Amino acid sequence: MRPASPSLEETQKEKRMIDLVSLIVTLLLLFSIIIGIITIPCKASTYKNIICDGNLSDWSPDELLGVDGNCRFYLTWNATHFTAAWEGIDLANGDVYIAFDEDPTIQSGVSALYGGATFAGPNLPEFAIWVKAGLEPVVYQAHNGDNTAWGPVENVAWEKYGGWSDVKITELSIPRSYLGIAGDTSKPIGVWMWTTTEPGTGDISVTSTYPTTNPKGTNVQFTSCKIYHSSGDGISPGDSSKPAITNVNVLPTNTSAKITVETNEDCTLVLEYGTTNLYGQKITNTTFSQTHVFTIYALIEGTTYHFRINATDGSGNYNLSEDYTFTTLGGIKITVTSPTQGQTITTRRFTISANVSTNGQSGISSVVVTIDGLEHAMQLSGNDWIYEWSSYSNGAHTIKVKATDTNGKSSEISISVDVSLGINHGPSLLGTKVEPSSGDVLTNFEFMCDYMDEDGDKPVKMVVIIDNLEYDMNTTDTDFVNGAHYTYVTKLTKGEHGFKFLCDDGAGSQDSRYESSEYKLKVKSSSLQNTVDEKAEFCESISLCYIIPLLAFIGCAILIETMMHKIVDRFPGLKRLINKK
C-alpha cells in the first residue's frame, strides 16, 4: 500500500523549518567570521615593529641572521629601535650578548675582553649589551680615548622578554638614540651576537656566535663582524658585497719587503704582519683605492714573516684575507720539523730532524744539535738533517739546532720538549735462525730474527754475534710492537761456528737487553775444494807407498855396489879370483 501524500499545509510547514535552520546556520557563520577577525592579534603596521613577548610570529624569515649550535640569531630595526632575538637559550643556564660598531667606516671601538671574548680586526664595538636572567640589560660603552678598556656601565630598563625553559626566546629592543645614531637609518651598523655559559670554573665560555666564523670557547677572539645597511625599516641588502682581494705580491730584500695588493673596488687597507700568524704589527692605509702598496722596513734577514690584509669598502663591507708568508733574503733559515715545540715524547728513541736552507750564495757546511748542553753532529738525509736521540730521561729537555754556512756565518734555533716514559717492557726476539742450516764455504748464510718491543721502542742495537764478533743486522720494518724482521747475510769459513743474537731497546734498564741462546753451524769445503784435496791425498798416498821405498831400494843397491868395489880394490888376490872366474 502506498503511503498517503503529505497535505499542502504540512509541506509549507516543512519548508519554513528548513529556511529557519538555513538562516540560523548563516548567522552562526557570519558571527564566527566576525569574532575571528576581532580576535586575530594586532600587529604593527609593518613587520619591523617587533613586540618583545617571546613570540617569533612577528619576525620575518629574512631577519634570521644565522644558526650556530643550539641558538638562532635574529635582528631587525626601524627608525627608532634595533630589535634582537636569541632562540634556543634558557637564561637560567646561560647569558646572551650583542655588540655594535656604530660607524664601521672609521677605526674605533674596544678590543678588550667582554663576555668571554676579545675583539680584533678592522671593526671594533663601541657598545656591548649583556642580557642575564632576572636583571635589566647591562650596557658597556667604549672608554673615551682608550680602545683597550670599557668605560661607563649602566643598567637600562628597555623592553625585553627573557627566555626560560618553557619558552627559550629572548627579545630585546634597543633605542637608536642610545647608540648615538637616532633617526639616521642610512648609516651602516656593525653587529656581533653570541651566547655564553659558566662551566663552574669561573671562566666564561662562548657557546655560539654570529657571525658563525667567530670561535667558541674560553677567552676567544672575535675577528668577524657583520655589517648591515638600512634604507628604511628593517634589514635591506644595500651594498653588502665584501671587496675581493687579488694579486697579492711580495718583493723581499734582506731587511725589507714591498707588498702590492689589488681590490675590485675602492677600499682602505690594514696590513698585519709578524713572525707568526698572530702578527702583532700593522700598517694602515686610509686612502680609498683599488691599487695598494706597502713597504715594511727593519726586518730580520733570512726570516719568515706572516701577513694578512683587511680590506674595507666605502659601505663598510670588509674582507679578511688568508694568511700569507714571505722570507727575507740572506741568512740561514732553520726549521725543526721534529719534534715540535712543547711536544711530549713517550718513546725511548726519537729522530730529531731539521730543515736548513739559505737564501744567499752560500751553502751549509755543518749542522749540530745540542741536547741539554751536549753537542752532536747531525747527518743529511734527503732534505732534512737528522740525529737519532736515545737514552734520555723523563722531564724537560732543551734542544738547540745550529747551522753554519760556507762563509762561516751561523744561526741557531731552540725548542723545549718533555719526555714521559712509563715502565720499560724489555724487548724479545722470535724466529732466531740461519738459512740454510748447513752449507759450504761458498754458501750465503742468512741470519734472521724478529725483534718485538711492547713499548714500540726501536732498538739501539740489533746484532748477530758469530764467533764472538758482532755484526749489525738490517730491517725495513717500522712496526716494533708486532715485530720487525732483521737479517744479516755472509759467507763463512770451513769448520764449526757458534752464533747468537743480541738486542737493546736503549732504555738503560736491566731488562732493556735480550740475548738469545747460542747455536752451532758446521761449514764444509766446497765440491771443487774436495776434488783438489782428494787428488792431493792420492798423490800423497802414492809417494808414501811406492816412490819412497823404491828410492830407498835404489839407494841401497848403489851403496852395496860402491862398497863391493872398495873391497875388491883393497884385496888384489880377490880381484884376480873374480876376474879369473
pLDDT in tens, 302-333: 788 999 999 987 666 789 999 999 988 777 88
336, 413 contact by CB (below 8 A):
yes
The pLDDT tens digits of the residues spanning 429-459 come to: 999 999 999 999 999 999 999 999 988 888 8
pLDDT at 126: 87
Where are the alpha helices (H) located in 344-424, listed in sequence order?
none
Distance CA 157, CA 152 (A): 16
State the sign of the Cα–Cα–Cα–Cα dihedral 534, 540, 541, 547: positive
pLDDT at 313: 78
pLDDT at 37: 35
288, 263 contact by CB (below 8 A):
no
Architecture of domain 245-327: Sandwich (2.60)
Distance CA 443, CA 436 (A): 8
Parts of the chain with a pLDDT under 70: 1-48, 143-148, 181-186, 199-202, 229-240, 314-316, 359-361, 527-546, 548, 565-581
- Which CATH fold topology does 334-419 show? Immunoglobulin-like (2.60.40)
Please give the mean pLDDT across all residues of the chain.
Answer: 81
CATH number given to 428-525: 2.60.40.10
259, 296 contact by CB (below 8 A):
yes
Identify the residue whose cell numbers are 756565518: 409
pTM over 0.85: no
- Torsion angle (degrees, nearest 10) of CA 249, 252, 255, 261: -10
pLDDT at 559: 74
Distance CA 103, CA 188 (A): 7
Domain regions of the chain by residue span:
56-228, 245-327, 334-419, 428-525, 536-579
Same fold, 245-327 and 334-419: yes
144-149, long-range: CB < 8 A, 24+ apart = 147/108, 147/109, 147/110, 147/111, 148/110, 148/111, 148/112, 149/110, 149/112
